[in-house]
Structure 1
Amino acid sequence: MSYLESLRVFVRVVELGSITAGGRDLRLSPAVASNRIKDLENRYGVRLLNRTTRKLTPTEIGRAFYDHARRVIETLDEAEALVSGFSGRPQGVIRLTAPLGLGRRLIAPLIPAFCAANPGVDIRLRLSDRSVNIVEDAIDLAFFLGEPEDSALKWRRIAPCPRVLVAAPAYLEAAGTPAHPDDLASHNCLLLRYPRSPEYYWTLQTPEGPRKMMVQGRFDTDDGDVLTHWALEGHGIANRPAYEVSADIEAGRLVRVLPDHPPLPSQFGCLTPHRRLQDPKVRLFADYAMRELKPLF
């Protein structure tokens, strides 16, 4: 493995906080990734990482070395992007992230055809309903439901994503069907939550305008598909993107709740660091995704 490849390993290990995670991201075994770090330490005669059974952190010199190494990798990536842009043959890795359900249903099916048309490009797709730090995690393109808060990122809106409140017929028979938004206070609302998530509420559309409803339930999860599964099993009311539950509504497995007061639609789009969008392969995938996904909404 070349010196530059060892630098890539070191940078990803620091960013992901784990030799195992850093190696996995680069498709290397933990043993190989660990050896790459040791090679760098032996080359310079310094310890770059402090290792304990629970935590891995860069030493003082390791942090300074990381800052420089990352700039080297970024410069190399930019040079590669420039060359591939002139050659018309995109090359390299695109790192994507998306929420679990959206990623499974909408993003993952796009990847095989894109890679077939662009054989020099590899895709790394990471799915999670938790928030991610796009810059720290070196994400090229993040598909997103909601309104982005970080103005340092480039936001490309794809389409509004309607949302619906749904519950199983059995749940409504047992607990009653809400007739007004205030009735949600007496129902088990199935909540999407994760550590450090903001205070939870649903914003419903009313004749007087959007209304923020503080809702609560007996259990929550950080996986949107689990919410849908709980709703199908009759455990409560869920707030879901319409495209995820449309087949269940059509089949009668789920019923729309408060159809005259639907949740505000989410904005569906993609986020990328401004610098990454200059990379032809990233821009190419973003354009391709927008073209393929917009008609679905």
Structure 2
Amino acid sequence: MSYLDSLRVFVRVVELGSITAGGRDLRLSPAGASNRIKDLESRFGVRLLNRTTRKLTTTEIGQVLYDNARKVIAALEEAEAVIASYSGTPQGVIRVVAPLGLGRRLVAPLVPRFVAENPEVEVRLRLSDRSVNIVEDGIDVAFFLGQPEDSALIWRKITDCPRVLVAAPEYLAARGTPQVPDDLKAHNCLLLRFPRSPEYYWVLQTPEGRRKMMVAGRFDADDGDVLIGWALEGAGIANRPRYEVEEHIQAGRLVEVLPETPPLAAQFGVLTPHRQLQDPKVRLFTDFAARELKARF
């Protein structure tokens, strides 16, 4: 592995806070990533990282190397993007992140087709319902449901994604079917929540306009598919994108609740860092994804 590749490993290790995570991101074993760090430390004759059982931090000189190495790598990636735009052959790695359910159902099937059309491109897809720092995590494309707030990112809307409230017939038979939004207060609402999540609410579309409903439930999860599973088992009412539950609604396994006052539709699109705006492979991938996914809604 070249000196530049070792610098790439060092930068990703610092950004992800772990030798294991940094190595995995670059398809290296923990031992391989650790050896690359040791090679750099031997080259410079200094310690670059402070390692404890709980956390990994840069030394003072390690921070200097990280700050400068990151600039070098960013400049090289920009140069590669410009060269690729002239060659007409997109090449290199695209790091993509998407929510779990959306990623499994809609994004993952696109990847083999895109790579088949662009064999010089590698796509590394990560699925998570947790929030990620797109810039710090080195993400090129992030599929997003909702309204992004980070002005440092480029937002490209693909379409609106309708949402529905659903519950199993057995749950509604036992607990009653909500007739108006206020009835939700008496029900077990299945919540998508993470550590340090803010106060939870659902926004419904009513004849009077948007209504913010504070809802509660006896349990929550950070995986939307878990919530659907619980709803199918009769555990409560879930608020999910329609594309995730339409099959269950058509089969009668789930029933749409409060169809006259559905949840506010989520904007569906992609986020890219400003630095990737001119990268032809990123632009090509987002164009491909937008075209293919818009047809699904």
Question: Do the structures match in fold with TM over 0.5?
Answer: yes
What letter is aligned with 1:112?
Answer: P
In the alignment, structure 1 residue 17 sits paired with structure 2 residue 53 = no
AA aligned opposite 1:291: R
Q: 1:44-80 CA distances to partner (integer Å, 9 max, x unpaired)?
A: 1111100011211111111121010001111111111
Other-structure match for 1:98: 98
Counterpart mapping for 1:196-275 below 5 A: 196-275=196-275
1:277 is matched with 277
Match of 1:189 in 2: 189
Taking the TM superposition and a 5 Å limit, the aligned residue runs for 1:98-137 are: 98-137=98-137
Matched AA of 1:117: E
**1:168-199 CA-partner distances (Å, limit 9, x unpaired):** 00000001100110000010000000012221
- In structure 1, the partner of 2:172 is 172
Quote the residue 2:65 is aligned against: 65
Cα distance in 1, alignment partners of residues 63 and 155 from structure 2: 30
Distance in 2 between the 1:199 and 1:64 partners? 40
Per mean C-alpha deviation after superposition, the further-off stretch among 54-63 and 171-180 is: 54-63
Match of 2:86 in 1: 86
What's the Cα RMSD here? 0.6
SS of 1:199's partner is: coil
Distance in 2, matches of 1:221 and 1:277, equals 35
Alpha-carbon distance in structure 1 between the residues aligned to 2:243 and 2:45: 56
Alignment-derived partner of residue 4 in structure 1? 4
- TM-superposed deviation, 1:125: 0.5
Q: Secondary structure at the match of 2:290?
A: helix
- Tell me the amino acid that sits aligned with residue 223 of structure 1: D
Percent of aligned pairs sharing the same letter: 77
Once the two structures are superposed, residues 135-159 of structure 1 have per-residue CA deviations (whole angstroms, 9 ceiling, x without a partner) of 0000000000000010111000000
Distance 1:115 1:38 in 2: 34
Q: Secondary structure at the match of 1:177?
A: coil
Shift of 1:277: 2.1
- Tell me the SS of whatever aligns to 2:295: helix
SS of 1:275's equivalent?
Answer: helix
Instruction: Give CA deviations for 1:96-117 in whole Å, capped at 9, x if unaligned.
Output: 0000000000000000011011
More displaced 10-residue stretch of structure 1: 198-207 or 162-171: 198-207
Between the aligned partners of 2:151 and 2:55, the Cα distance in structure 1 is: 32
Shift of 1:264: 0.3
- Relative to structure 2, which stretch is displaced further, 209-218 or 73-82? 73-82
Work out the CA distance in 2 between the residues paired with 1:60 and 1:267: 43
Amino acid at match of 2:247: A
TM-score, normalised on structure 2? 0.99
Distance 1:152 1:81 in 2: 20
Q: Secondary structure, in 3 states, of the residue corresponding to 1:278?
A: coil
Residue 238 (structure 1) shift: 0.2
Alpha-carbon deviation of 1:128? 0.4
Q: What is the rounded CA distance, in whole Å, between the counterparts of 2:164 and 2:90 in structure 1?
A: 40
Amino acid at match of 2:42: N
- Report the more deviating stretch, 198-207 or 160-169: 198-207
One-letter code aligned to 1:274: H
Q: Which runs of 5+ in 2 are unaligned?
A: none
Match of 2:296 in 1: 296
Letter in 2 for 1:279: D
Runs of 4+ in 1 over 6 A off after TM superposition: none
- The answer for the alignment partner of 1:142 in structure 2 is 142
Aligned residues: 297
The separation in 2 between residues aligned to 1:198 and 1:64, in whole angstroms, is: 36
Question: SS of the counterpart of 2:109?
Answer: helix
Instruction: Give CA deviations for 1:184-232 in whole Å, capped at 9, x if unaligned.
Output: 0010000000012221100001111000000000000000000000000
Q: Distance in 1 between matches of 2:215 and 2:92?
A: 45
Tell me which residue corresponds to 2:74: 74
